Amino acid sequence: MSFKNILIKTLAILLIASACEQEEFTGTGLESLREFTLTPVPGARINLSSVDRQGELVISWSQARSGFDSPVTYTWMLDEPNGDFSDPLISSLSDNDGSATTITFTNEQLDDFLEGRGLDIGEELEAVWTVSATNGDIIQVADSAVITLRRYVNAIAPFSPITPENQSTVNLDIDNPTAEIIIDWDSTFIGFGGEVSYTWLADEEGGDFTDPLLEYVSDNGGIDHQLTVTNQALEDALATLGVAEGQATTIDWKVIATGAGLEMSSSIFTVTIKRFFTPPTAIFLVGGSTSAGWNPPTSIPFVQTGEGMFEIYAYIEVDGDGFKILESQDGYDGDWGAGSDAGQLVQEGEVNFEVSENGFYRLSVNYNDLTYSLDRFQWAIIGSATPNGWDESADTDMTFNGGKGDYSWTVTTNLTDGDMKFRANDSWEVNFGDDGNDGSLEINGANIPVSSGNDVTITLTLDPVNGYAYSITM
């Protein structure tokens, strides 16, 4: 062999030895095993589950890599607390016939082992465990770790609500009071067998259920994993809790499962339930910020625009402590105010409606969903007879005469022969025409025919009592 070949072979052996030393390999000859460590079991305790007997428990450790990446076989061992693993309680190849860095047991397998050791239900075994890694005739054993195994105890399996879904809303149906609402949840079972019974609980949002607002045994005397209630039953329950007619309340609900002297609580769902409501047939505007003042007999009637829907046009000021809605001109019983959420209508609420600036407003109320909107309006004329024609970007603005109780707008301008309409805020969303050409106005009514003239005064009157009208003075 030449000197060159001898030198190359020597260098190769030195490089292999150097690599093994850097990786902290141990062994004999040219083969070796890298040291490895165990992955601690969280809390060093395993409580075996009687309700998940086939559930898997996985114990793991790091890899003991061989010097030449040859196969490594792992054996998991369990021994007494002071044992040296020379005669372990359990000795078993790891997963995948010993090639994996994990070993998997079921709850049932470990419980059977503990039972065989003479442990009664719920008793514990404290032990140590380790893993040996084998590569040919080389064996590397990791430092041991403590583990506590506890036998099955009787338990009720966890379960969850299903419907009404979390964060959903249930609107009680006044037209179908006997219609049923189904509340249901997962079924559960007792680990060692036995009958489970269920109780449905409801509490205020964020409550702790120590004194629940509602409590019902489930169907079939508590056996079924559902509760059937009627619209009327929930309506009566909410009324008893002080929830106003037509108002909604948000609750948390859960289910308690009991049996064999055990108890298990489901997770919690949150749901909003809205009471029955019959919308009024007439409502009135009252308040110091309006021309009515705080005097119910002089309150101003709204115009009904549909079932449960009303609107009014009025001048409203910032001063005067706001305003409210009445259902009668006889007094404040059942008055309506602003809710905590934007646009929310609340009966007998303490918060008055308010505006942020003086102006002419349309107040729209919808009792079907208990909402309101308050829109500030600027009225104008538009049409072929007006100075800017039908140019939608150039309405001819009108001037509000100003003051509580004054519902008129005026503009003095030159007209040509043609048509015109009134509209608000440079938009067709709210506009008036005259279907009968008689001086009265209708929403989305027909175009108003006019004749030419100079310095013509046009007056728009939006009087909620006497109706909507206009006049043209040449």
pLDDT, tens only, 373-432: 999 999 999 999 999 999 988 999 999 986 777 789 999 999 999 999 999 999 999 999
Domain that holds residue 62: 36-150
Q: Do 146 and 40 share a structural domain?
A: yes
| CATH code (residue 180) | 2.60.40
Q: Which residues contact 42 (CB under 8 A, 6 or more apart)?
A: none
Q: Do 408 and 465 share a structural domain?
A: yes
Q: Do 185 and 114 share a structural domain?
A: no
Give the pLDDT of residue 184.
97
Whether 14 is covered by a domain: the verdict is no
Boundary of a domain, candidates 317, 350, 374: 374
Q: How many structural domains does the chain have? A: 4
Q: Model-level pTM? A: 0.62
Q: Do 350 and 327 share a structural domain?
A: yes
Q: Which residues of 58-79 are buried (b: 16+ CB within 10 A; e: fewer)?
A: ebbbeebbbbeeeebbbbbbbb
Q: Do 317 and 214 share a structural domain?
A: no
Boundary of a domain, candidates 274, 305, 336: 274
Whether 3 is covered by a domain: the verdict is no
Whether 22 is covered by a domain: the verdict is no
| Distance (Å, whole) CA 337 – CA 247 | 12
Q: Do 262 and 167 share a structural domain?
A: yes
Whether 8 is covered by a domain: the verdict is no
**Per the omega criterion (within 30 degrees of 0), is the bond before 296 cis?**
no
| Distance (Å, whole) CA 378 – CA 398 | 8
Q: Do 383 and 370 share a structural domain?
A: no
Give the pLDDT of residue 412.
97
HEC per residue, the chain: CCHHHHHHHHHHHHHHHHHHHHCCEECCCCCCEECCCECCCHHHEEECCCCCCCCEEEEEECCCCECCCCCCEEEEEEECCCCCCCCCCEEEECCHHHCCCEEEEEHHHHHHHHHHCCCCCCCEEEEEEEEEEEECCEEEECCCEEEEEECCCCCECCCCEEECCCCEEEECCCCCCCCEEEEEECCCCECCCCCCEEEEEEEECCCCCCCCCEEEECCHHHCCCEEEEEHHHHHHHHHHCCCCCCCEEEEEEEEEEEECCEEEECCCEEEEEECCCCCCCCCEEEECCCCCECCHHHCEECEEEECCEEEEEEEECCCCCCEEEECCCCCCCCCEEECCCCCEEEECCCCCECCCCCEEEEEEEECCCCEEEEEECCEEEECCCCCCCCCCCCCEECEECCCCCCCEEEEEEEECCEEEEEEECCCCCCEEECCCCCCECEECCCCEEECCEEEEEEEEEEECCCEEEEEEEC
Q: Do 270 and 166 share a structural domain?
A: yes
| Distance (Å, whole) CA 275 – CA 281 | 19
| Cβ atoms of residues 443 and 279 within 8 Å | no
Whether 424 is covered by a domain: the verdict is yes
| CATH code (residue 111) | 2.60.40.10
pLDDT, tens only, 270-302: 999 999 988 899 999 999 999 999 999 999 999
Torsion of CA 334, 337, 340, 343, to 10 degrees: 120
Boundary of a domain, candidates 332, 356, 374: 374
Give the pLDDT of residue 69.
74
Q: Do 127 and 40 share a structural domain?
A: yes
End-to-end CA distance of the chain: 127
Task: Give 10-residue mean pLDDT values along the chain (474 residues).
Answer: 31 29 43 73 83 95 82 95 95 97 96 96 96 90 93 97 96 93 97 97 96 97 98 96 87 98 98 91 95 94 93 92 96 90 85 93 92 94 96 92 82 97 94 94 95 95 87 93
In this structure, the number of other CB atoms found within 10 A of the CB of residue 310 comes to: 25
Give the pLDDT of residue 2.
37
| Distance (Å, whole) CA 112 – CA 320 | 80
Whether 446 is covered by a domain: the verdict is yes
Whether 303 is covered by a domain: the verdict is yes
Q: Do 74 and 170 share a structural domain?
A: no
Whether 30 is covered by a domain: the verdict is no
Task: Read off the tokens for 93.
Answer: 């190849």
Q: Do 200 and 125 share a structural domain?
A: no
Look at strands 214-217 and 197-204 and give their pairing. Answer: antiparallel
Q: Do 292 and 396 share a structural domain?
A: no
Give the pLDDT of residue 13.
28
Identity at 51, one-letter amino acid code: V
| Cβ atoms of residues 255 and 196 within 8 Å | no
Give the pLDDT of residue 7.
27
| Distance (Å, whole) CA 431 – CA 424 | 6
